[in-house]
Amino acid sequence: MNNGPVGDCEALIVGAGFSGVYLLHRLREAGFDARLIDAAAEPGGVWYWNCYPGARVDSQVPIYEYSIPELWRDWTWRERYPGWRELRAYFRHVCDRLSLWSHITMGTRVASAHWDESERLWRVTTDAGDMLRARYLLPCLGFAAKAHVPEIAGLESFAGEWHHTAHWPQRGLSMAGRKVAIIGTGASGVQVAQEAAAEAAHVTLLQRTPILALPMRQETLTIAQQEREKLGYPAIFAARLQTSGGFDTGSVDTSALDVDAEARRYLFEKQWQAGGLRFWYANFADLLTSEQANRHAYDFWRDKVRARIADPALHETLAPSEPPHPFGTKRPSLERNYYEIFAQENVALVDLARTPVQRIIAEGIETADGLIECDLIVFATGFDAGRGGLMQIDIRGRNDLRLADTWREQVTAYLGYAVHGFPNLAYLYGPLSPSGFANGPTAAEIQGDWVRDFLVTLRDRGFTRFEAEEDAEREWTEGVAAIGSMTLFPRAMSWYMGDNIPGKPRQLLNYPSVIGFAKISEDVAADGYRGFALA
């Protein structure tokens, strides 16, 4: 691996995850002087930062990889749901194959980006003190770039070690023989808990809301098996573009309410056995729009899970009779033995709804019920999703307008790409695009191709400036909320709605259809990029 120099360029991409690396490749192909900067030591985006024990993707390969044949032809995976190490190796392979290294600068954080109207370019600084100019600023930060550590009194007095899952020490950290407390039971909390249960002396899991987790059904892959499967890859990649989540398949056409109990159970059981997120994305058409349909799915989930929880006293806490929220309106996570770990003597569950945390002291976490002694606290407490990564860079548009101020009360954007007042800035996999609802590589390719085509059109027509129009932005922002209100998503307190961050405005942060988004973006392009002022 080598690091390219930091310098002026036409297009500056920030972030070396799926979106950024893809966009770099496509822009270089199209003849742009494009560069990529990332704070991490290695490409991979979330797979660099989230190196906690058990961190692995919850979408199966080949869905979770690029569709470019020169990348998949001679790449083989070891597991159907690869872990962070394998995903990092994949990113190295991608940068090798596409000869991207000399255009990438790792280990450098973009600190600020200020728009210079007279020169029509962005003036960018990095934490290393570099200054550079770029015609286009293209942040590709993912939705989980800013970790959230809740304020808990006394954390500074803790005598042990604490880490957020997204800032796990890169050198590694053994949990063997330790007393571990894990706060949060989202996808990250579930994954750490499974690993901690296997090696820690004691694990306490502090749960605020039960996760509605689905069986992963991990699979070890052989080279021969993948060589056979590769014959079907083009069809799978084409199918990804035709579904609302960017997966290989979407929901069935039928309502759960139009079939009898036996037929309902048949589909539920089929997708449950298939594993992964299929029970979520390949379920009945009205799973996420009808409360009644959703309730059938929840009841199926609850009964399946309860059958695996040995202690009946934990049934109500882990898989309540009544749904804590409609199934799938908070991101389900995948698990392997999550519901079995609670039968182990070294694992305890604390229900924060009944036993809230009071403070942290040197020896551990004090709750209303007494002290949880620990020497390692894991904050699996999520992210300021969507907007957080962008807002932590000092981005200033026209008239010194700060993006962090613009988005304080509400996130607004046109097409989930551009913000009025911030010329020549297009972000990928960010708020008001399908991001959090979309399979990452699918969204990266759809959005990367769209931005490449947009910049090529600007170049071909001699334009040097674009800006989202205010009306178009308002319409898009209101449109995403209107679509959201037709679904059950607003019924859950979730990061999809911004609820997980105290003081964050409540709004649906993601556009809920990849195929719908792709269609509208294509129409906008065909219509001369309507909604953008070009100059």
- Using the structure block, give the residue that is written with the tokens 């003190």: 129
For ligand N01, give the closer residue by CB, 85 or 133: 85
Provide, rounded to whole angstroms, the least separation between the CB of residue 150 and ligand N01.
3
Q: Which is nearer to ligand N01, 135 or 504 (CB)?
A: 504
Q: What letter does residue 400 receive in the DSSP assignment?
A: G
Task: For ligand N01, give the closer residue by CB, 184 or 441.
Answer: 184
Name the β-bridge partners of 376: 161, 180
Between the CA of residue 511 and those of 135, 327, 508, what are the distances in Å? 28, 19, 8
State whether residue 437 is helix, strand or coil.
helix
Minimum Å gap between C-beta 368 and ligand N01 is 14
Give the residue with the Cβ less far from ligand N01, 352 or 525. 352
Measured from the CB atom, is 245 or 484 closer to ligand N01? 245
Dihedral of alpha carbons 44, 45, 48, 52, sign: negative
Q: CB of residue 50 vs ligand N01: minimum separation in angstroms?
A: 6
Which CB atom, from 34 or from 51, has the smaller least distance to ligand N01? 51
- Structure token pair of residue 56: 């692995």
Q: Which is nearer to ligand N01, 272 or 495 (CB)?
A: 495
DSSP reduced 3-state for 154: coil
Closest CB to ligand N01 among residues 189, 364: 189
Distance spanning both ends of the chain, measured CA to CA:
39
Q: How far is the CB of 194 from ligand N01 (least distance, A)?
A: 11
Give the torsion sign (CA, 456, 460, 462, 467): negative
Nearer to ligand N01 (CB atom), residue 59 or residue 424: 59
- C-alpha 299/C-alpha 492 separation (Å) is 17
SS3 content of the chain, % helix, strand, coil (to 5): 35, 20, 45
**Residue with the shortest CB distance to ligand N01:** 186
* Minimum separation from the CB atom of position 169 to ligand N01 (A): 17
Footprint on this chain of ligand N01 (rule: CB under 6 A)? 56-58, 144, 150, 165, 183-189, 191, 208-209, 331, 333-334, 352, 380-383, 495, 500
Quickly list H helices, 329-374: 338-341
Q: Pick from 512, 440, 337: which is nearest to 61 by CA?
A: 440
R_g over Cα of the chain: 23
Sheet strand arrangement including 202-207: 161-164, 376-379, 179-183, 202-207, 347-351
Contact, 184 vs 365, CB < 8 A?
no
Q: Of the two residues 331 and 396, which places its CB atom closer to ligand N01 in the complex?
A: 331
Residue holding tokens 């209101």? 478
Shortest CB 67 distance to ligand N01, Å:
19
Q: How far is the CB of 48 from ligand N01 (least distance, A)?
A: 14
How far apart CA 417 and CA 429 sit, in angstroms, is 8
Smallest distance from ligand N01 to CB 165, Å: 6
Strands 110-116 and 179-183: unpaired
Q: How far is the CB of 211 from ligand N01 (least distance, A)?
A: 6
Strands 370-373 and 214-215: unpaired
Nearest approach, Cβ of 509 to ligand N01 (angstroms)?
A: 12
Give least dist CB 166 to ligand N01, A. Answer: 7
- Region of residue 209 (phi > 0: left; psi between -120 and 50: alpha; otherwise: beta): beta
Beta bridge partners of 371: 366
**Rounded to the nearest 5°, which phi and psi values hold at 181?**
-115, 130
φ/ψ bin of 498: left (φ > 0), alpha (ψ from -120 to 50), beta (otherwise) = left
The residue (of 271 and 494) whose beta carbon lies closer to ligand N01 is 494
